[in-house]
Amino acid sequence: MHGALTTLVDRLDSHDVAETDVIAWGSPVPSFGDPTTSRVATLGLNPSNREFVDQDGNELEGAERRFHTLRSLGLPTWAHADTRDLQLIVDSCYAYFRQNPYDRWFKKLDYAISATGSSFYDPDTPACHLDLIPYATSQKWTDLSLAQRRNLRRLSENILGQVVRDSRIQILVLNGRSVVEQFQEMAGVTLHRTVMSEWSLPRQGGPDVLGIAYVGIIEELGGVSLGRKLRVLGYNHNLQSSFGVTSTVMTAIRDWISRLSSHELE
């Protein structure tokens, strides 16, 4: 984690980052929870700005703070960060679910993986969350320009592989179609796609939104050899934002994740 974090922090002061709408005064977020103790990890696009600011755009402080910033570390720029500062950032990542997690977003993901026996909130059988891009942006990913998204992928392309390589993660769960598409591009793989009729979302006056499952096994990610096989499971519905994701569909996705996570790796 420290090697990946050092690279991410070094890049925060770069001109390339300055043009990507990254919250440059906020630390990178290589993980939510501890990947070195987690068997299961979920995967998203990039950290929400709400990990650093309140609904009015003010920096979170005191007990509300989730991750470190230049202000909390007392740094004028990230170039002044030392080993102690990096360790404090790592500690905040590992302790995320024991402090002030953004439950409005993570509770649904935790339910989706709950039948695997792992949970973000259980210190005995922990899970963690990772992002394709470990930098928070002031705008949502979909509102960034194509050039900004490309720059962020380039700046982050080998970081996820390093974090997974140095972890105990065996199962990676991709949350939503955009994550699946970006992951396939980063990993250079095409996941097996299956239409899941029980995941369909009804729409008034139009066709149902199909539910789609994705499955694969990888041994390399972002040009980084993982040194083992990793099972990848994904679904096209974004559980936090897809309109009309019912409790029945949520349960069906949970049960599917549980069933496939128990299969032996080929």
Give the integer Cα–Cα distance in Å for 173 and 111.
12
- From the DSSP assignment, how many helices (H) and strands (E) are in the chain? 9, 6
Quick one: tokens of 49?
Answer: 């700005």
Domain borders along the chain are: 2-261
Three-class SS of residue 261? helix
The per-residue b/e assignment along 218-236, b for 16 or more CB within 10 angstroms, e otherwise, is: beebbebebeeebbbbbbb
pLDDT attached to residue 238: 86
pLDDT attached to residue 39: 96
Whole-angstrom CA distances from 229 to 97, 214, 219 are: 27, 16, 5
pLDDT in tens, the chain (266 residues): 778 899 899 988 887 787 888 999 999 999 999 999 999 999 999 999 999 999 999 999 999 999 999 999 999 999 999 999 999 999 999 999 999 999 989 999 999 999 999 999 999 999 999 999 999 999 888 899 999 998 898 888 789 999 999 999 999 999 999 999 999 999 999 999 999 999 998 887 788 889 999 999 999 999 999 999 999 999 999 888 756 788 899 999 999 999 999 866 55
pLDDT attached to residue 3: 83
Whole-angstrom CA distances from 121 to 64, 118, 129, 264 are: 18, 9, 12, 26
Q: Say how many CA atoms lie within 13 Å of 96 toward its Cβ.
A: 27
CA dihedral 99, 104, 106, 108 (to 10 degrees): 140
CATH no., domain 2-261: 3.40.470
